[in-house]
Amino acid sequence: MSNDKVITANNLTKKFGDFTAVDHISFDVHKGEIFGFLGANGAGKTTAMRMLCGLSLPTSGGATVAGFDVYKENEKIKKSIGYMSQKFSLYEDLTVKENMEFYGGIYHMTDRFIKEKTAFILEHLHLQKEANALVRSLPLGWKQKLAFSVAIFHEPGIVFLDEPTGGVDPVTRREFWNMIYEAADRGTTIFVTTHYMDEAEYCNRVSIMVDGRIEALDTPSKLKQTYNAATMDEVFLMLARKAVRAAD
């Protein structure tokens, strides 16, 4: 494997019975890259991502994450990645601090590391006052930013974000993306799925999935050039209209 490819997928396929959710997809993601994984609902984004995270076994094809094989080195992958799911993933009945202590704990972090990191995040997000507030009481935007901080709490090399900004206002989304850029600048590879085409413009490279296959994969500017479109939105619509599979 080339030293700067942190994710490789090679004809990765997932079938549920007769239904092929992910159909022979191949791509590479480089270190420190923000890789946008786009597709309409039901195109197979989440399934593909789950295979890379070790939540789901591929039917055929291969993939490596952080240099580890998704079939055999599942446990090693888990230690090298962070994950933020579509559903909100913090415990609402725990305080901000307790959530961080919990995630630090299950990732084998030392007490000292957890303490320092917690202080750093609270300061960074200007949440010092809310440290002992229940997560339930925070506004959604703050929760999402906090969830992202928790997903990269253990400083993983790669972080998978599954539609992280669903239901968040544009200002908060912008702030959220600033956090993503900061993480990428520190060398973290970001693998993100989204529906928002303005967010697609923020990515270094995007792939667009249609009916389980990758229809296009390039930088946003090249894609716009290829499809002779002004925005990513137009590119996406052009490709997504080809879909025959109904959205779920």
The residues of the shown chain that bind another protein, judged by CB under 8 A, are 16, 50, 53-57, 75, 78-79, 81, 83, 85-91, 93-94, 98, 101-108, 134
159 closest CA partner among 103, 223, 93: 103
- Work out how close the CB of 62 gets to another protein at its nearest, in angstroms, rounded to a whole number: 17
Q: From the CB of 107, what's the least distance to another protein, in Å?
A: 6
Q: Report the nearest approach of another protein to the CB of residue 117 (Å).
A: 14
Helix (H) or strand (E) holding 120: helix 111-124
CB 220 within 8 A of CB 38: no
Residue 80 or 204 having the CB closest to another protein: 80
Q: Which amino acid is at 31?
A: K
Tell me which residue has tokens 């725990």.
94
Q: Please identify, using beta-carbon distances, which residue of 41 and 86 lies nearer to another protein.
A: 86
Q: Is the Cβ–Cβ distance between 200 and 232 less than 8 Å?
A: yes
- Beta carbons within 8 Å of 50's beta carbon, 6+ residues apart: 56
Phi-psi region of 135 (alpha: psi -120 to 50; beta: other; left: phi over 0): alpha
Nearest residue (CB) to another protein, 1 versus 106:
106
Q: How far is the CB of 23 from another protein (least distance, A)?
A: 16
Using the Cα atoms of residue 48, residue 51, residue 56 and residue 58 in order, give the sign of their dihedral.
Answer: positive
| CB closer to another protein, 81 vs 206 | 81
Report strand pairing: 189-194 vs 158-162: parallel
Cβ nearer to another protein, comparing 40 with 158: 158
- Least distance (Å) between residue 29 CB and another protein: 17
Minimum distance from CB of 73 to another protein (Å)?
12
With a CB cutoff of 8 Å and minimum separation 6, the contacts of 110 are none
- Which is closer to another protein, CB of 14 or CB of 205? 14
